Every structure is written in C-alpha cells, then in structure tokens.
Amino acid sequence: MSFHFPLQPVFRLRHSLEERERLRLAMIIACLNQVNQLIEKLDQEKLRVASALEERLKSGMAAGELHFELARKAALEQQKKGLRQQLAKLEEQRAVQEQAFREAQRKRKIVENLRDLKLEIYRQEEARREQQRVDDLFGLRHGQLAKQS
C-alpha cells in the first residue's frame, strides 16, 4: 500500500499561495531597484547640469538661458522628490509583502510538517509490517523444519 496524504490538495494550495506571494515580493523588489537606478541617473544628470551651468556662467550666458537651466534643475529636483516618495511607498509595500510571504510560508510549513510526520509514521508502520512478515515466514519455516525432524 502506498502512502496517501489526505491533505495533499491543501499542501499544493499552500505551496502555490506561497509562490504567488514570493513572486509579488520579487516584483516589488525589482521596482525598488528600478526606482533606485532612476534616482542615481537623476543625481548624475543633476551633477552634469550643474557643472555645465557653472561652465556656461563663467563664459557668460543670457538671462533667458540661465532661467531655462535653473528651471531644468528645479524640474530634476522635483522628479527626484517624486521618485523618493515612490521609493518610500514601495518600501512600505515591500515590508507588507514580506510579512504576507512569511505568513504564507508558515502556513505551508504547517501542512508540510504534518505530511512529513504522517509519512514517517507510515514508514515506521511499513517497516513494522515488513518485520512482522519476516517473523511470520521465519516462524512458518521453523515450524516446518520442526515437523520434518
């Protein structure tokens, strides 16, 4: 008789729910990385604009150009501020999603541990039955040898 775990569908469900939560967490982490990269690019762009502005100020520039460059610099600052806010929201989502993943993992492990316990009990019973069969065969053979003597 092979091992049968009646809660196997529940185990598969818990495993798939855990996987879904893990994938959601991975997606949020990927978004976090992407926003961090965008912030780094904006910082590099700000440095480039600032150095270019400094060079152009030294060589002289029109008031309209200066106004345009300062507006561009302010727009970059505003973009960075927006990305920082988005980053904060994503960090909150990541924390919530990590908790959801841990909870799904905990629920899966409960069913998995029950399955492992049942499997161990099954194996012990199977070993006991096998030993009983060997003992019975030995007893029969010993009984037949005793009759022959």
95-119 burial string, b = 16+ CB within 10 Å, else e? Answer: eebeebbeebbebbeebeeebeeee
Q: Which residue range forms the structural domain that includes residue 27?
A: 8-108
Note whether residue 121 is domain-resident.
Answer: no
Measured between alpha carbons, how far is residue 44 from residues 30, 76, 86 in Å?
21, 11, 19
pLDDT digits (tens, 9 = 90+) for 44-56: 999 998 888 888 8
**pLDDT band of 134, cuts 50, 70, 90:** very high
Note whether residue 56 is domain-resident.
Answer: yes
Report the predicted TM-score, pTM, of the whole model to 2 decimal places: 0.74
Note whether residue 74 is domain-resident.
Answer: yes
Total domains present in the chain: 1
Spell out the residues 6+ positions from residue 65 whose beta carbon is closer than 8 angstroms to its own: 56
Rounded Cα distance, 73 and 50, in Å: 8
Rounded Cα distance, 42 and 60, in Å: 26
pLDDT, the chain, mean: 92
Output the six-digit token pair for 38: 């965008």
Under 8 Å between Cβ of 93 and 32:
no
pLDDT of residue 34: 97
